[in-house]
Amino acid sequence: MLTQLYRAAWRSRGFIASSVRREFRARYLNSLLGAAWAVINPLAMVAVYLVIFARLMQARLPGESDTFDYGVYLCAGLLSWGLFSEIVQRSIGVFLEHANLIKKMNFPRICLPLIVLFNAGLNFAIIYALFLVMLLVTGHFPGVYLLALLPVLAILCAFALGLGILVGVFNVFFRDAGQFFGILLQFWFWFTPIVYPLAILPPEAAGIVAANPMTALMAALQTIALGRGWPDWSALASPALCALGALGLALLLFRRRADEIVDEL
Amino acid sequence: MTHSVEVRGLGKAYKHYPSQWSRLAEWLLPFGGPRHQPTWVLKDIDFSVEPGEALGIVGFNGAGKSTLLRIITGTTRPTEGEVRLGGRVAALLELGMGFHAEFTGRQNVVLSGQLLGLGREEIAELLPAIEDFAEIGSYFDEPLRTYSSGMAMRLAFSLATARRPEVLIVDEALSVGDAYFQHKSFSRIREFREQGTTLLIVSHDRLSIQALCDRAILLHEGRLLRQGEPEVVMDFYHALMADRTFAHIRQELNAQGAVQTTSGTGEATIVAVTLANAEGRTSDAGRVGEEVELAVRFRAHVDLPSLVVGLMIKDRLGHEMFGINSHRLGIPIEKLAAGTEYVFRLRFVMTLGEGHYSVTTALTRSDAHVDRTYEWRDRALIFYAINVDKPRFVGCNWLAPQAALELIDAPQGVSS
What's the pLDDT tens digit per position in B328-344?
999 999 998 998 999 99
- Put simply, the answer to whether B20 touches A15 (Cβ < 8 Å) is no
pLDDT at A136: 87
The Cα B290–Cα B322 span in angstroms is: 17
Q: Give B23's contacts in chain A (Cβ within 8 Å).
A: 173-174
Residue B344 in contact with residue B298, Cβ under 8 Å? yes
* Section B237-247 average pLDDT: 66
pLDDT in tens, B112-131: 888 887 888 888 888 888 88
For the cut 60, the answer to whether the pLDDT of residue B415 exceeds it is: no
Interface test with B, best of A7, A12, A13, A15 (most B CBs within 10 A): A15
**Nearest CA-CA distance, residue A37 and chain B, Å:** 18
Could you tell me which of B201, B135, B132 has the C-alpha nearest to residue B168? B201
CA angle, residues A173, A100, B169, in degrees to nearest 5: 125
pLDDT at A19: 85
Q: Give A167's contacts in chain B (Cβ within 8 Å).
A: none
For the cut 70, the answer to whether the pLDDT of residue B1 exceeds it is: no
pLDDT at B295: 92
pLDDT at B254: 66
Nearest residue in chain A measured CA to CA from B74: A106
Residues forming a β-bridge with B6: B48, B84
**Nearest CA-CA distance, residue A174 and chain B, Å:** 7
Interface residues from chain B to A (CB-CB < 8 Å): 14-15, 20, 23-24, 70, 73-77, 93-94, 97-98, 100, 102-103, 107, 110-111, 114-117, 119-120
Confidence of residue B277 (pLDDT cuts 50, 70, 90): confident
The Cα B13–Cα B41 span in angstroms is: 6
The Cα B217–Cα B201 span in angstroms is: 10
Which DSSP symbol is given to A229? S
pLDDT in tens, B79-88: 888 888 888 8
Interface test with A, best of B36, B39, B75, B104 (most A CBs within 10 A): B75
For the cut 90, the answer to whether the pLDDT of residue A163 exceeds it is: yes
**Nearest CA-CA distance, residue B225 and chain A, Å:** 25
Whether the pTM exceeds 0.80: the reply is no
pLDDT in tens, A40-88: 877 888 788 777 776 666 666 666 666 677 888 888 888 899 999 999 9
The Cα A146–Cα A137 span in angstroms is: 16
Confidence of residue A153 (pLDDT cuts 50, 70, 90): very high
Confidence of residue B296 (pLDDT cuts 50, 70, 90): very high
Q: Give A19's contacts in chain B (Cβ within 8 Å).
A: 111
pLDDT at A62: 67
Backbone angles phi, psi at B96, to 5 degrees: 85, 10
For the cut 70, the answer to whether the pLDDT of residue A197 exceeds it is: yes
| Pairing of β B54-58 and β B215-220 | parallel
- Name all domains of chain B by residue range, CATH numbers in brackets: 5-217 (3.40.50.300), 231-386 (2.70.50.60)
- Put simply, the answer to whether A106 touches B74 (Cβ < 8 Å) is yes
